[in-house]
Amino acid sequence: MRKLSAVYRKELEHYFQSISAYVMISLFLALAGYFFYSIFRYYNYLSFQAGREPSLADNLNLIEGVMRPLMSNVSVVLLFAIPMLTMRLLAEEKRQGTFELLLTYPISDFEAVMGKYLAALSVFAVMLGGTLMYPAMLAIFSDPETGPMVTSYIGLFLMGASFVAMGIFFSSITSSQIVAGAATFAVALFFLIIGWAAPFAGPTLSKVIAQFSILEHFDSFSKGIVNLPDVTYYVFITAFFIFMTLRSLESSHWRT
Amino acid sequence: MIRVENLTKYYGETVGVRDLNFQVETGEVLGFLGPNGAGKTTTMKMLTCYLPPSAGTAKVSGFDIIEQSMEVRKRIGYLPERNPLYTEMSVRAYLGFVARVKGIRPPAQRGQIDGVIERCGLETVHRRTIEKLSKGYQQRVGIAQAILGDPEILILDEPTLGLDPKQIIEIRQLIRNLGGEKTVVLSSHILPEVSQVCNRVIIINHGELIAVDTPDNLRSRLAKAAILRLAFRDEGDAAARASRILESIKGVLIVRQEPGGDNARIFTVECAPDRDIREEIARALVGERIPLLELYREELSLEDIFLQLVTEEVS
C-alpha cells in the first residue's frame, strides 16, 4: 500500500508541478462555465415566456431545465479531457525506458497501475469538483431539488472513472501518447454513441446495444435514481479495463 | 551470490542468449564483456526479473528469479543501459520516490537518501531538476537510485556509456569503491574498463559464453605465442646480422622487422611460450656486438584476447 501511494504521489506531483493539470482543469471549467451560462440564459428566457403563457411552465424546473442538459454537455467535454489526462501515464514511461526500471523495483504491477490510475482519477475529481459551483449558485438563488444533483454527480464520477480506466489501458499498449489518447477518445466516444444504433436494430439486439451505452446508464442518475445495474455497469467497465491493463503489462514482459 | 544455470532466451527464432552458466561470488566485481548485441543486456534484464528466461534459471542470494521475483528484486540495484530517469523531478524528489517504491521504512528514508547523495557526490546538485544536470551527474543519479536501499547486488548495464573521459574515470572510481562491499555485475564493450575495474571477466558473443576468468589468467591462458620486441641502432649490416642470429636461436618462430624512429630498427619476434628465451637472445646479440637498445616482452592486452576469442568462435 505504501508503494502504491508512492506511485500515486509521484504522478500527482507530476500533474501539478508541470502546468498540464492546471491547463486542463481551467480549460475544462471554462467550457463547462460557458455551457452553464448559455443553458441558464435559455432557461431564463423560457421562464419569462412562461410568465406570459402559463402552459409553458409545466415542465419548467431547474433539474430538467438546467442540470440535466449541463451534465450531458459536461460528459461530452470529459470525452475530450480524460484521454489527455491519461495518455501519458504508461506510454511515456515505456518510451523513456523508466518503466523497465520501475518494474525491477520490488513493486507489483497492480500497485504501479493503481497508483497511476488513482492519480488520474484524482485530477479528474478535482475537475469535476470545480463544476460544483454551478449547482451551488442555483442553490443560493433558488431552491432546486438536491437529490438529482447529488446522483448526477455520482453518475458523472463513475462515468469518468470508466473513461480513466480506458485511458490507462490504451496508454499501456503503446509507447506513443498520441496513439493512446486517440484510441481512448475513439473507444469512449463509441461507448457514448453506441445507443444511437439501438432504434434500428431488432428487438433483442436493440436492448443489448442499449445496455452497452454509457449514456443509457447515465440517464437514471440524472433523474435522481441510483440503480444497481447502472452502478454495476460503470464498475464493470472500470474493472475490465484495469484488468486488461495488467494483462497487457504482463504480456509485454514476455514479448520484449 | 548469483548462480546462473542454463539461462536461455529466444526472441522468436533469434537467440538472445543460449545456455549460460556462471556464478558470481559475494563481493566480487564481475565484468560482462562482449560486442554489441552479444546478449549482455538480455542477461541483465533476466537477472533483474524484467525479462523471463525461455529456459534455465538463475538464483540470486538463493532466490529463484522466476519463482521468487519479489525477493530477488529487493536485493538487486539496477542501472539500465540508457539510464532512464524521471527527468522532470529534482534529484532529491526522485530518490525519495525510489526509496518509497523500494519499501524503505519512512523513518529511515531521509538518512538513506542523504547517504547515497553523499556517496555519489551529488551534494551540490540534489535540489536541481535531473534534466538540467550534465550526463555525468545524471549517471551518478542512476547509480544512486541503484544503491538506494542498500541492495546486496548491483547490476550496471554499460555504466560509462556516452560519458566524457573525466566522467568515465569518476564513475569507475565510484564503482570500484562499491566493489568489495557489494557484489557488482557490470557490462561493457570497452575492454580497458573491465580490466581496470573487475576481478573476473565473462566474455560472451552471439549469446554464448566464450570464457570466464580473471583478466590476468585470461591473458596468460591465451598467450599462445609470446611476443618480444627488440630495438637496436641501425648501423652497417647490423639488421641483417641480427636477423640471422635470431633465426638461429631455438624457440624463435617468426621474425619481422620494421624501421623505427631515431635511426633504430625494431624487430618483432614471436616465440614459443613454453620457454623464456630473452636472456639467450640478449647474450647472443651482445656477443655479436649488435648495438641493442631495448628488449622487452609484450603483454597481450585484453583487447587482443577479446578479438582472438571472438574471432576464433566465428571461424
- Per-residue model confidence as pLDDT tens digits over A170-187: 999 999 999 999 999 999
User: Of the segments A216-225, B260-269, B297-306, which one has the largest average pLDDT value?
Assistant: A216-225
Question: If residue A211 lies in a helix (H) or strand (E), which one and from where to where?
Answer: helix A203-212
Q: What is the structure's pLDDT at B311?
A: 64
Q: What is the structure's pLDDT at B233?
A: 84
Would you say residue B99 has pLDDT above 70?
yes
Q: How far apart are CA A138 and CA A73, in angstroms?
A: 17
Average pLDDT (B31-54) is 87
Q: What is the structure's pLDDT at B188?
A: 83
Per-residue pLDDT tens over the stretch B194-215 = 777 888 988 888 888 888 888 7
> Phi first, then psi: what are they for A2, rounded to 5°?
-65, -35
B103–A104 CB contact, under 8 Å: no
Q: Does the beta carbon of A175 lie under 8 angstroms from any beta carbon of chain B?
A: no
In angstroms, the separation between the Cα of residue A110 and the nearest Cα of chain B is 13
Q: Is A98 within a domain?
A: yes
Residues of A in contact with B76 (CB under 8 A): 104
Per-residue pLDDT tens over the stretch A22-70 = 999 999 999 999 999 999 999 888 888 888 888 777 777 888 888 888 9
Smallest CA–CA distance from A8 into chain B, residue: B97
Question: If residue B284 lies in a helix (H) or strand (E), which one and from where to where?
Answer: helix B278-287
Q: What is the structure's pLDDT at B305?
A: 67
Q: By C-alpha distance, which of B227, B248, B192, B262 is closest to B33?
A: B192
Q: Does the beta carbon of A104 lie under 8 angstroms from any beta carbon of chain B?
A: yes
From the number of C-beta atoms within 10 Å of its C-beta (0-12, 13-18, 19+), residue A45 rates as exposed
Q: Is A40 within a domain?
A: no
Q: Are A170 and A180 in contact (CB under 8 A)?
A: yes
Q: What is the structure's pLDDT at B312?
A: 57
Average pLDDT (B167-181) is 84
Q: How far apart are CA A143 and CA A237, in angstroms?
A: 35
Smallest CA–CA distance from A15 into chain B, residue: B88
Which domains does chain B show, CATH number per domain?
Answer: 2-220 (3.40.50.300), 224-299 (3.30.70.260)
Distances (CA, A) of B148 to A201, B143, B174: 61, 9, 14
Q: Is A60 within a domain?
A: no
Q: What is the structure's pLDDT at B315?
A: 42
Would you say residue B134 has pLDDT above 70?
yes
Q: Taking the mean position of all CA atoms in its chain, how far away is CA A220?
A: 17
Q: Are B56 and B20 in contact (CB under 8 A)?
A: yes
Average pLDDT (B151-169) is 88
Number of Cβ atoms within 10 Å of the Cβ of B309: 18
Q: How far apart are CA A75 and CA A85, in angstroms?
A: 15
Least confident among A94-103, B62-71, B223-232, B247-256 = B223-232
Q: How far apart are CA A244 and CA B42, in angstroms?
A: 27
Number of Cβ atoms within 10 Å of the Cβ of B28: 18
Q: What is the structure's pLDDT at A254?
A: 63
Backbone torsion region of residue B269, taken as left when φ is above 0, otherwise alpha when ψ lies between -120 and 50, otherwise beta: beta
Q: What is the structure's pLDDT at A118?
A: 97
Residues of A in contact with B101 (CB under 8 A): 3, 6-7, 102, 105-107
Dig out the grid coordinates for B238 from the structure: 647490423
In angstroms, the separation between the Cα of residue A169 and the nearest Cα of chain B is 20
Would you say residue A211 has pLDDT above 90?
no
Probe site for chain A from B101, B153, B161 (most A CB atoms < 10 A): B101
Would you say residue A255 has pLDDT above 80?
no
Q: What angle do CA A98, A102, A108 make, to 5 degrees?
A: 150
Would you say residue B313 has pLDDT above 60?
no
Q: Is A29 within a domain?
A: no
Would you say residue B300 has pLDDT above 70?
no
Q: How many structural domains compose chain A?
A: 1
B86–A10 CB contact, under 8 Å: yes
The per-residue pLDDT of chain B, averaged, comes to 85
Residues of B in contact with A10 (CB under 8 A): 86, 89, 97
Q: Is A38 within a domain?
A: no
Q: What is the largest CA-CA distance in chain B?
A: 82
Number of Cβ atoms within 10 Å of the Cβ of A67: 24
A96–B93 CB contact, under 8 Å: no
A106–B78 CB contact, under 8 Å: no
Cα of first residue to Cα of last residue in chain B, in angstroms, is: 35
Q: By C-alpha distance, which of A3, A109, A114, A118 is closest to B106?
A: A3
The per-residue pLDDT of chain A, averaged, comes to 89
Strands B2-11 and B14-24: antiparallel
Would you say residue B303 has pLDDT above 80?
no
B97–A10 CB contact, under 8 Å: yes
Smallest CA–CA distance from B50 into chain A, residue: A104
What percentage of chain B exceeds 90 in pLDDT? 32
Least confident among A4-18, A170-184, B36-50, B287-301 = B287-301
Backbone torsion region of residue B214, taken as left when φ is above 0, otherwise alpha when ψ lies between -120 and 50, otherwise beta: beta
Average pLDDT (B48-74) is 90
Residues of A in contact with B74 (CB under 8 A): 106
Would you say residue A11 has pLDDT above 90?
yes
Average pLDDT (A221-226) is 88
Structural domain of A164: 2-22+76-255
Band (pLDDT 50/70/90 cuts) for residue B16 is: confident
Q: Is A44 within a domain?
A: no
Q: Are B305 and B195 in contact (CB under 8 A)?
A: no
* pTM across the whole model: 0.83
Closest by Cβ to B80, choosing from A17, A97, A108: A97
Least confident among A4-18, B25-39, B61-75, B291-305 = B291-305
Q: Does the beta carbon of A202 lie under 8 angstroms from any beta carbon of chain B?
A: no
Q: What is the structure's pLDDT at B63?
A: 92
Q: What is the structure's pLDDT at A169?
A: 96
Q: Does the beta carbon of A17 lie under 8 angstroms from any beta carbon of chain B?
A: yes
Would you say residue A256 has pLDDT above 50?
no
Strand ranges (E), chain B: 2-11, 14-24, 29-33, 55-60, 63-64, 76-79, 153-157, 183-188, 200-205, 208-213, 226-233, 252-259, 264-271, 292-298
Average pLDDT (A215-232) is 88
Q: Are B40 and B9 in contact (CB under 8 A)?
A: no
Residues of B in contact with A13 (CB under 8 A): 89, 93
Q: What angle do CA A125, A127, A133 make, to 5 degrees?
A: 105
Dig out the grid coordinates for B182 from the structure: 557489494
Q: Is A51 within a domain?
A: no
Measure the CA dihedral A247/A253/A254/A255, to 10°: 100
Q: By C-alpha distance, which of A208, A161, A207, A206 is closest to A188?
A: A161
Q: Does the beta carbon of A106 lie under 8 angstroms from any beta carbon of chain B?
A: yes
